[in-house]
Structure 1
Amino acid sequence: MRFSAASTADRLLPEALAARARPHLDRLDAVVFTADDRGQASRTSLTAFAIRIVSAVIALVSQILMARWMGGFEYGIFVLVWTTMIIVGNLSCLGFHTSIVRYIPEYRELGRLAELRGVMMASRAFVLATSTVFAAVGILGVWYFSASIESYYIIPFYLGIVCMPMIALSDTLEGTARANSWAMLALGPIYLLRPLLILAFMGGAIIAGYTPDAQTAVVIAIVATYVTTLFQLAAIAPHTAREVRHVRPLFRTREWVVVSLPIFLVEGFFFMLTNADVLMVGWFMNPDDVAVYFATVKTLALVHFVYFAVKAGVAQRYAQYAHGANREKLAVFARETVSWTFWPSLLMGAAVLVIGKPMLSLFGPGFDAGYPLLFVLVLGVVARSAVGPAESLLTMSGNQNICAAVYGGTLAINVGLNIVLIPSYGLWGAAISTAIAMACEAAMLSFTVWRRLGIVMVVPVFGRRNTGGA
């Protein structure tokens, strides 16, 4: 028997209250609890959102404890090093971790099981090879430029680079799970298990008498990442192998690389865009400032996670519709996902502004100096959410090249503004640069989707339904 919010309300609520709630619950049932593809995407997005909410709480508690255990200076070093490793580890996949989100549902929809097995096998081998090359280049780079790097960053960077292949493999396994609509297996290990392990291992290390500094924290993060990635491999690989076990793999490596490289640029520009402010603050300012700015950005996690949750739930559905016969279905679904992103982001943004100052105070003395920055950053995030996961729509529909160009332009705007504004305005310069870049990104993505696909990806004004079509 299929679950229905409306029928449940009829059983549990007084008749008058149930009658008043029924129109709203019927709409909820139509979006979330239907058995069609739309309902599955909605449930995946809601599951992803729930995971990201829980992970936001875990991350917040973890970062507060890490900041208090380590102090602002050591915490700032750890934040800069580990953020860099996460970015470069993701980039070292060269787009394969995202292109499989397109190829797995596409090959399954077309019944091309040989290519399906091939792309799943090739993706893991490819990212392990490329990430190992990235790690080797990183070690040589730190050694060669060591005279230009502050001494307190050298050892943590050497240690962090060791973890790069595992970060890359972990991201690829996440993409495989997303392509199969396994929201819990996709997001649970990275956003729940890994931060919990980092927190638990760090607490254990302090109890065992280790110094709570940046080097210890990076080693702990490495161990937690290895454990998490091995768990992902054991949990995901057997499921993906089951349907293609007796099929001989067919490798279209050249095609996959050609498609993945523009996606690599999109993902690379996106990751750099979302973290450029932290990296630029680390370049121009001291670790204590990095710590304050990072804590402020982490407080925005609840707002960001709406977008990431919707993206996780709809990317594979975009790919299925884009490569199917019904393009109008793609247009209708894409317009719906804009509202899924914008209104919860607006609500979360308001909530963050209410609770932001006491949350930042939990990190320790001086961290609440970042609270005024939240007003600027929330404006940027909400502006970005007004066009929904538009870049996923472009990449999943074969428009990854133009999407890469959009993100390249946005990154150039962000970095340029940071270079100009941070030396004069400090953390305010970083926040203003990021907000302006997000608004420019939203405008360019919306325009590009309209020009390429004929779909109006912008939030309906004053609750009116967006009627732009393909």
Structure 2
Amino acid sequence: MINKIKNKINSDIHLKELLRGSSIAFVLRIVGIIAGYVFTLLITRGYGAEAMGVFALSFTLLQISSVIGRLGMDTALLRFVAEYSSQEKWEIVKDIYKKAIKLVLPFSIFLSIAIFFLSPYIAEFVFKKPHLTLYFQIASIGIVPFVLLFIHTESLRGLKKIKEYMLLQQSGVFILASILLGLITLLTVNNSIFLNQIPISVYIFSVFVISFIAYIVWKKQLTNQITTNLTTILTNQLSNKLLSYSTILSVSIPMLLSSSLALIMGWTDTIMLGILRTEEEVGIYNVALRISMITSITLMAINTIAAPKFAEFWGKGDIKGLAKVAQQSTKLIFWTSFPILLLFLIFPKPILGIFGNEFKAGAIALMILTVGQFMNAAAGSVGYILQMTGKQVVFQNFLLGAIFINLVLNFLLIPKYGLKGAALASTCSIIFWNIGSWLYIMINYNINTIYFPFIKR
């Protein structure tokens, strides 16, 4: 039996690459998640639920701002680098990267300055909590390095440098932040008036450090590829047609909208809880949300290598190869996600109790969120299939519908049901865009990305 499995894997180069890449991504993703939960645990145990809520809201502002600042160039670079590097068109890869930097760097700097000075208004008029101003200003300082971190790590991902990508984007910041926060917590006096500022300040400092390392690693990889393939570059230089700014933007802007909508949808419940409820509830909900995302950890790991492979297959016109990888990945995702679903549905309170007794109040929210994350995993890599095959506008439209559903349900359910209402709104919106994307792919590509043991393909 084992030999049969080995022979099947060895005979399929794409399955072998998928398993190898996703295995590396899975292990490093686990490391990143552990570091993230250690960081969360340090905040909740050392500073309390209120400090966790302050960090969650500041982190939300940072994420939303950085998504806008990236202009969709991170996902566009993932697609372009994967597509053109597989064709050994390194001059095009280098040119696209330079143009991307020229676009995002000045824009993200402007955005950082704007958010810094708008922080008092965001804190007072959006959240009705003027005391959040300083935390938002600290977060704004991290926008530029956060943007550049994603630009360089997604470019590395396009080269299928999965280990480097996972270490830098998914693990590095939380590992460094956890170490620093742990040391600072040991030395900090508990009655310090600066306690709530410490977690977000430590996180921003870690972003600066890891972002600089990501730049060094990307430049080294690109230089090595250009040096190694110099003969091919010189041969193809005349035939290579460089992409214009307008062409790059025509791909990146829809991806920006998709990324923005996905992020806004993911954080709408947190933001609306921050507006309609207390920081303590935001902190409890944020912990439940982070735990629920473990359910889709395999999806994230497999997407790490599957996304550049989708772009590679699309660039070569190999739809059958794309379909095969998509279906192989979904089967792996289902069997690794289902046990986690059962675990979180059966033991929500003990799991949340790890972070403190006050967090057990999020047990039902955790169960609801876990169902949503499982549906996200079971649908497969639908988002990346659409984005890597030039259907980023279609994906954007599904997310637009989902965010509308999320906003309406949050507005209706949070005032009455609190954490449970936010979780239900999030789950319904996740199910909507996943099912919609799956149907579109089925109809247009004849690819079934959903796997269930009782459904035959």
Q: TM-score, normalised by structure 2?
A: 0.91
Contact (CA 8 Å) 1:318, 1:396: kept in 2 or not?
yes
Match runs of 1:325-404 below 5 Å:
325-404=317-396
Please report how far the alpha carbon of residue 406 of structure 1 lies from its aligned counterpart in structure 2 after TM superposition. Answer: 0.7
- Among 167, 170, 178, the alignment partner of 1:191 is 170
Distance 1:51 1:146, change over 3 A: closer
Alignment partner of 1:85 is 2:62: yes
Is the 8 Å Cα contact of residues 382 and 449 (structure 2) preserved in structure 1? yes
Deviation for aligned residue 1:145: 4.6
Deviation, 1:441, is 1.6
- 1: CA distance between counterparts of 2:375 and 2:122? 39
Aligned-partner SS, 1:259: helix
Q: Distance in 1 between matches of 2:82 and 2:305?
A: 13
Tell me, what secondary structure is at the counterpart of 2:58?
helix
Q: Following superposition of structure 1 onto structure 2, how do residues 25-424 of structure 1 map, counting pairs within 5 Å?
A: 26-27=4-5, 30-31=8-9, 36-145=13-122, 147-148=124-125, 149-209=128-188, 211=192, 213-244=195-226, 250=242, 252-424=244-416
Compute the displacement of 1:144 (Å).
4.2
Pairwise CA RMSD of aligned residues?
2.1
Contact 1:75 1:213 in 2 (8 A): no
Q: Deviations over 1:424-458 (max 9, x none)?
A: 11111001111111111221011111233222222
Residue-by-residue CA offset, 1:133-183 (whole Å, 9 max, x unaligned) = 221221232244554241221000011100001111111111011111111
Q: Tell me the secondary structure at the aligned position of residue 47 of structure 2.
A: helix
Contact 2:42 2:181 in 1 (8 A): no
Report SS of the residue matched to 1:300: helix
For the 8 Å contact 1:166–1:225, the answer to whether it is kept is yes
In the alignment, which residue of structure 2 is the partner of 1:16?
Answer: none
**d(CA) in 2 for partners of 1:194 and 1:129?**
24
Change (3 A) 1:143 1:288: closer
SS in structure 2 opposite 1:122? helix
Count of aligned pairs: 442
Q: Cα offset for 1:196? A: 1.8
Are the counterparts in 1 of residues 43 and 51 from structure 2 also a CA contact under 8 Å? Answer: no
SS at match of 2:357: coil
Q: Which amino acid aligns with 1:232?
A: A
Give the unaligned 5+ runs of structure 2: none
Give, in whole Å, the separation in 2 of the partners of 1:297 and 1:374. 7
Q: Quick one: structure 1 residues 111 and 209, their matched pair in 2 at CA, closer, same or farther if it must change by over 3 Å?
A: closer
Equivalent AA in structure 1 for residue 198 of structure 2: T
Cα-to-partner distance string for 1:186-241 (whole Å, 9 max, x where unaligned): 01123322112112212222344363622122211111111111111122221122
Offset, 1:423: 0.8
Compared CA separation, residues 359 and 384, structure 1 to 2 (3 A): same
Distance 1:147 1:276, change over 3 A: closer
Deviation at 1:365, TM superposition (A): 2.9
Q: Give the conservation status (yes or no) of the 8 Å contact 2:42–2:182.
A: no
**In 1, are the aligned partners of 2:39 and 2:181 still within 8 Å (CA)?**
no
What is the identity percentage for the equivalent residue pairs of Structure 1 and Structure 2?
20
Out of 424-433 and 128-137, give the one that drifted further: 128-137
Q: 2:334 touches 2:452 (CA, 8 Å); kept in 1?
A: no
Give how far 1:35 is off: 6.8
Gaps of 5+ in 1: 1-21
Aligned residue identity for 2:72: G
TM score, norm. by length of structure 1 = 0.89
* Mapped partners of 1:432, 1:156: distance in 2: 29
- Contact between 1:79 and 1:291, CA under 8 Å: does it hold in 2? yes
| Structure-2 separation of matches of 1:263 and 1:432 | 27
**Counterpart position of 1:448:** 440
